[in-house]
Structure 1
Amino acid sequence: MRSKTSCFNKTLFLKNLTRFWPLWGGASFIGALFSLALLSQLLRYGKDSIASEPLEMTLGYYGILSGLVPIICLLYGLLCALAVWGYLYSARSVNLMHILPIRREGLFVTNFLSGYVMLLLPFAVTGGLCIVISAVFGLFEPVGVLVTILGVLGESFFYFSSATLAAFITGNIFAMPALYLLLHFLEAILDLLLSNFARGFIFGLSTNYTGFLEFLSPTVYLMRNVDADAQYQKTIIDYTGAYTHELLSVRLENAWLIAVYALAGAALLALAFVLYRRRRSERAGEVVAVGWMRPFFRYGVAGLAALLGGQLIYGLFWEDAYFKAVPLAVCMLVAGAIGYYGASMLLAKTLRVFHRSWRGLALVAAGVAVLCGCLRLDLFRAADRVPEISQIEKMEFYADSNTYIFYPGREDELLERVRRLHAAIAADRKYVLDFDRENFTTLEDETPSWTWEYVSFTYTTHGGQTVHRNYSVPMTRERLGQSGAYDSLLDGLVNSQEMRLKRIHASGDGYEPCGGRIYLNRRNESSELSDREAAAILEAVTRDAQAGRWGHVEWLSTEAWNSGTYALQLSLEFSGESDDTWDWIDIAVRPEMTATTACLLELGLVTNEDLSTNGELYPEEYGRAGAADSAPAEAVYPETTSETVVIGVAG
């Protein structure tokens, strides 16, 4: 009889399932509890407490798939991999398994399938119960259920494949979880470390995380990019303008990413199979079981230690806004040396690793010197980078607590002025960093001669790259009148008529008022605004802005006493196709805003008693020298909507 080779061993498969039943049994029990909690909620409060229609149930499934399943697969997949591949980390166990009459191909396939089944069983139990419950209560939606099942299969396959690869790279049961988690978050960790490192050298750079290669950190990438996209229809329900939202459709946005990761999981599984076929049994117990990966481990640990430890040590002794290159390089070299020798000791399993180690340490020192030198000299001119208009897809500019959004082709003249302001600030780096506030000391009863202002510039290029810079810059009275200085450019830009109208979306950019809120400080109460009231108020504010009665920023003014004791917040909704669908406007009403005040009186939102300033209502807090003389003794506010009403001062 001809013998045949089998790649699957039923006895070993069942043995794994029965041996590790507490693992998958406990996970299944926990999952079943959530399904029973869902049933209890439906029985006690009805289906409206969970979902009033099948699409809402699907929305819940997609939310769990995008926000919870990656984390479960990441952690539970690690436990399943440790269970089925744990024999690789003990010399006795691995020798026993490898003398069994089962080829390595059979061991690989059988153990992988048994571990993957253990990973899927809790999902099957939980999902099966949820499907039955939703069907009984009329909430079953087949498309959503099918997409969810496929998504769980794809994500669980990827995570277990990556855990299998990590299991074959190392030969130590304690190193395997650390390596597995590090591989999944290495890109995000490096991104954070390098971004913070570069921020300490490059003027204006403030990005804590770029996400440039985020797809190499699967859990982060999936949770940030795969999400439920729900389409609603707005329906007016009564004459007051109240409305409801009806759910029309639900889809899993970027679901194709799960399929891509599943394919990547197949490639990782193939690599794991190659490593297992060549793996030596005597590698059990070693931190890195693959010979050619050992240098990557040694210098990788040294590099991470230099980046993280170097910045931590530097922070203990220096508190500068920007790094000093030489002290930082010394701190990084110390931390890098610790990481280098620590990794060498783990690999050699001995403390005697210092003999002839100067070459490796020199390589670490060279890497530190090159990295610090490149950033100190800013070889890539990142500090001076201001994208051209032809490269920009979208631009956001923040100043004076307002955000302005520009799209090339619509407001190129304003966008060019913003770019010119950015270039002027970047060129004045030395002035900003060396600014001596002691030369601008202001007495308590004098108007300040300087102030700090925060501005930021965010460019999204056509290639999808984001360039973000923010600055805290000093503004002085002298430079406000100096042509070409960034102080003057910022003042001229923000106080231009075009920017005032853009600030309240009065330039026809597609935003429509949709409610808001008014807060009355005198009564310590607030009330909601209807769409109609918000539209009327915005129109009145627009008239004030066009007449020059609102929107002018006094950078060095301290006249908070002259603001009204009530404030407005208007909500706006974009009527077209855009990612920026909502915006909010905060408006501090001042006495000279006659059109706005008249509108509020006509709508009955304020009374004449409410129309006072902070200086009048809180004289003890705002009663500074000169304020009493400047504030009106008795303000007469308009009682009609006429814009020609003049605010008079009695006495």
Structure 2
Amino acid sequence: MRSKTLYFNKTLFLKDLSRFWPLWGGASFIGALFPLAMLSKLLRYGGYAGVSAGAPLEMTKLYYDVLQAAVPAVCLLYGLLCAMAVWNYLYNARSAGLMHTLPIRREGLFVTSFLAGAAMLLIPFAVTGTLCVLTSAAFGLFEPVGLLVTILGVLGESFFYFSSATLAAFITGNAFAMPALYLLLHFLEAILDLLLSNFARGFIFGFSTDYTGFLEFLSPTVYLYRNVSMDAEYREIVNSVGEFVRFELVSVRIENLWIIAVYALAGVALLAFAFALYRRRQSERAGDVVAVGWMQPFFRYGVAALAALLGGQLIYSMFWYDEYFKVAPLAVVMFLTGAIGYYGASMLLAKTLRVFRGSWKGLALVAAGIAVVCGALKMDVFGAAGRVPEISQIQRAELYVDNNSYTFYPGEEDELLEQVRAVHAAIAADRDYILNSKQSDLSVLAEDALTHASVSLTYITTGGQEVQRVYYMPLTRDRLGRSGTYDYLLDQLVNSQEMRLKRIHANGDGYEPAGGSIYLNSRDEGYDLSDREAAAILEALTRDAVAGRWGQVNWLDTREETQGTAYAMSLSLSFRQSLEQNMFRNDWIDIKVRPEMTAVTACLMELGLVTSADLVTYAEMYPEEYGGESSRVRTPSAEAVWPETVSDSVILMGTTG
């Protein structure tokens, strides 16, 4: 009889399943609780978690909710347990030797154990899914498309996570190191992004990004949660007299499902890599923290780098508190923590504490790496501090200054966007002046000749990356009148008529008035505004803005007397911009109404919202808070306008029809 090579051993497969039945059995029991709870509540109350009998789309929405919110975390953790179960023999020399003496080739061991682990991972999903399908069919909730999409998503994520856990199992030979290595591989990019972003903030002028997400796809769980989402659209149901009854779900879809497919393909590559490592793995490597020889230097210096970044910044923050790092003390503490990481990793690899002899070369390499990184960032060799994206590179730009937020789009507002870039470039060029302002002679200037302003700039590039800078800098009377300074350029930009109109969406950007509210301190009463009233007030506010009676920012006038000259009322306008696919964007603005705003005041009186008795200023109503009697008769100039507050936060949601 001709001999045949078998790549699957049924006996070993069943042995793994029977040996670890408490694992998959317990997971199946926990998973079954959810469809059973749904069945119970459907029987008793006719609904469960937003799912009503006879509404299959609601069941699909529940499937998608689970797929995007629960499946990644479940596969991440439960897949780790399944991998630790089927590959546990690799971590004991006796068990590894025994398995490798069986009349089964390593290909057979690999395929059989992988399938056994994958089966243990999928059995709970199968049990839970079957019960969900039976329940949905019984109550008219069965919807095949949503079910098929969910099944494919679960299969793709399960395969990827178990493949990555298998790779981690073959990199190490230690049962305790395996889960740590697995989780590190999944979150290393996100951890490094956070550490490096915080590190860069201590060197790069204005850098304020906490997390860039530049290579976020290398942290699969983070990427899945941030990019795979569920989108639902509802319509409003009203009765015969137009009264609201309820919202009805009309469509639901999972967005960016292709990402799961890409990760599943990546799982194939990870599995092939794991098999290549297994074919060359030595049984004697059982117990080693890193079982692959050529990976050991990466582990040693990688641990040293992480220790230097994390430990160095942590210890530095305990002894120094500066806006920007002092290079010498930072480099010292980074070297100390990096050395601890270096020797700790060496001890784990050598399984002994005697690792100091001859280690000076590696330690010197750690020191050199720290010196190069700190020196490069200190000298800004890449020019990051002064880099201002070109208009061709910008998809969207956001400016936040003086409690107002502005959004600019290339091709629509290129002139304003160029002014924003000019302000940014001028601030970056005056880095030394701004950083040294506390030690300079600015402090001797009169109070009315010096103030400070905070400017936040955010660019969304055409590549989808976010570039953010935040600056806190002095403004002086002298520089506000000197052409070319950032003080002058910022003042010219913010106080331009285009920006005043942009602030209230009177520049034809597609926003329409959508109501608002007014509160009168004199009456202690508030009212909601209709769309018609909001439109009339906006038209009056536009006239005041064009005439210079509203929106002029006097940077140097921060006196309480001036602040108290606004009328004792709160006026807020809301806006709505229609987008594609039944979506819209909301915005709102809070306005301080002042005596010089004659058009707005007349409009409010004409609409019957205020009377002459309501036109009392804060200083007149609360004289004890605004300098006593003298504050009652102070009238501000047209330039001394209290800046309104605008939020340009974007809220996207489905329209109601």
**Partner in structure 2 of residue 185 of structure 1:** 187
Q: Which residue of 2 aligns with 1:6?
A: 6
Of 353-362 and 573-582, deviating more is 573-582
Write out aligned runs for 1:97-116 (5 A): 97-116=99-118
Shift of 1:602: 4.9
Counterpart residue identity of residue 417, structure 2: L
Structure-1 separation of matches of 2:101 and 2:569: 83
Tell me the residue number matched to 1:55.
Answer: 57
Q: What residue identity is the alignment partner of 1:274?
A: A
Report the counterpart of residue 565 of structure 2 in structure 1: 562
Say if 2:360 is the partner of 1:358. Answer: yes
Q: 1:197 to 1:580 in 2, by over 3 A?
A: farther
Give the counterpart letter for 2:571 in structure 1: L
Alignment map for 1:403-422 (pairs within 5 Å): 403-422=405-424
Closer/same/farther in 2, CA of residues 476 and 124 from structure 1, 3 Å limit: same
| Counterpart in the other structure of 1:435 | 437
Q: Alpha-carbon deviation of 1:115?
A: 1.1
Give the superposition deviation at 1:608.
5.3
**Code of the aligned partner of 1:488:** Y
Partner of 2:216: 214
Determine the structure 2 residue equivalent to 1:490: 490
**Residues 535-546 of structure 1 correspond to what in structure 2 (within 5 A)?**
535-546=535-546
Match of 2:389 among 350, 365, 387: 387
Matched with 1:453 is 453
Deviations for 1:81-139, whole angstroms, at most 9, x for unmatched residues?
11111121112222222222322222211211111111112222222222333333333
Residue of structure 2 in register with 1:473 after alignment: 473
Whether the 8 Å CA contact 1:564–1:588 is kept in 2: the answer is: yes
More RCO (CA 8 Å, sep 6+): 2
**TM-fit CA distance, 1:209:** 0.8
**Cα-Cα RMSD:** 2.7
Instruction: State the Cα distance separating 1:586 from its structure 2 match.
Output: 2.5
Answer yes or no: is the 8 Å Cα contact 1:7–1:107 preserved in 2: yes
One-letter amino acid of the structure 1 residue matched with residue 568 of structure 2: T
Partner of 2:577 in structure 1? 574
Q: C-alpha separation between the residues in 2 aligned to 1:534 and 1:238? A: 29
Q: Are the counterparts in 2 of residues 615 and 631 from structure 1 also a CA contact under 8 Å?
A: no
Q: Output the amino acid matched with 1:583.
A: D
8 Å Cα contact 1:396/1:404 also seen in 2: yes
Maintained 8 Å contact 2:41/2:48: no
Superposition deviation, residue 10 in structure 1: 1.8
User: Sequence identity of aligned pairs in percent?
Assistant: 70
CA deviation after TM superposition for structure 1 residue 79, in Å: 1.0
Please, which moves more after superposition, 91-100 or 587-596? Answer: 587-596
Change (3 A) 1:471 1:101: same
Q: Is the 8 A contact 1:442 1:449 kept in 2?
A: no
SS in 2 for 1:630: coil
Q: Give distance in 1, aligned partners of 2:237 and 2:603.
A: 28
Equivalences for residues 104-183 of structure 1 within 5 A: 104-183=106-185
1:589 corresponds in structure 2 to 593
State the alpha-carbon separation in 1 of the partners of residues 318 and 403 from structure 2: 33
1:308 to 304, 307, 310: 310
- Bigger mean CA deviation after superposition, 150-159 or 542-551: 542-551
Q: CA deviation at 1:609?
A: 5.2
SS at the partner of 1:333?
helix
The Cα of 1:550 is off from its aligned counterpart by: 1.9
- Shift of residue 353 of structure 1? 0.4
Give 2:29's aligned amino acid.
F
1:337 counterpart SS class: helix
TM-score between both structures, scaled by the size of structure 2: 0.89
> Match for 1:68: what amino acid?
A
Question: 1:245, CA displacement in angstroms?
Answer: 6.1
Q: How far apart are the structure 2 equivalents of 1:41 and 1:62?
A: 20
Q: Which moved more, 1:381-390 or 1:229-238?
A: 229-238
Partner secondary structure for residue 214 of structure 2? coil
What is the identity, as a one-letter code, of the residue corresponding to 1:572?
Answer: F
Moved more, 203-212 or 449-458: 449-458
List aligned pairs for 1:502-541, cutoff 5 A.
502-521=502-521, 528-541=528-541
Tell me, what secondary structure is at the counterpart of 1:472? strand
Take 1:625 and 1:487, find their aligned partners in 2: how far apart are those partners?
Answer: 35
Q: 1:168 to 1:569 in 2, by over 3 A?
A: farther
Rounded Cα–Cα distance in structure 2 between residues aligned with 1:236 and 1:573 = 23
Q: Tell me how far apart the structure 2 counterparts of residues 411 and 241 of structure 1 sit (CA, whole Å).
A: 42
Aligned AA (1:571): S
Amino acid in the other structure paired with 2:565: N
Aligned residues: 630
Partner of residue 618, structure 1: 622
The farther-off stretch of 414-423 and 49-58 is 49-58
Deviation of the 1:470 alpha carbon: 1.3
2:623/2:629 contact within 8 Å kept: no
* Residue 320 of structure 1: how far off its partner (Å): 1.1
**Could you tell which deviates more after superposition, 135-144 or 415-424?**
135-144
Partners of 1:537 and 1:403 lie apart in 2 by: 21
Q: TM-score, normalised by structure 1?
A: 0.90
Distance 1:622 1:155, change over 3 A: same
Q: Is the 8 A contact 2:578 2:584 kept in 1?
A: no
- Note the C-alpha offset of 1:194: 1.1
How far apart are 1:580 and its partner, in Å? Answer: 8.1
Distance 1:316 1:235, change over 3 A: same
Q: For 1:39-118, what aligned pairs fall within 5 Å after superposition?
A: 39-47=39-47, 50-51=50-51, 53-118=55-120
Which structure 2 residue ranges, 5 or more long, are not aligned?
637-657
Mapped to 2, the partners of 1:91 and 1:127 lie a distance apart of: 40
* Contact 1:205 1:470 (C-alpha < 8 Å) held by counterparts: yes
Q: 1:396 aligns with which of 391, 395, 398?
A: 398
The amino acid that maps onto 1:619 is P
Cα distance in 2 for partners of 1:623, 1:25 equals 75
Q: Is the 8 A contact 2:16 2:86 kept in 1?
A: yes
Amino acid at match of 2:622: Y
Question: Secondary structure of the equivalent of 1:562?
Answer: coil
Map of 2:225 onto structure 1: 223
C-alpha distance in 2 between matches for 1:226 and 1:546? 46
What is the CA distance between 1:434 and its match in structure 2?
A: 0.9
Give the aligned partner of residue 370 of structure 1.
372
Residues 248 and 104 (structure 1), Cα distance of their counterparts in 2 relative to 1, 3 Å cut: same
Residue 500 of structure 2: aligned partner: 500
Question: More deviation in 535-544 or 241-250?
Answer: 241-250
Structure 1: 5+ residue stretches without partners: 633-651
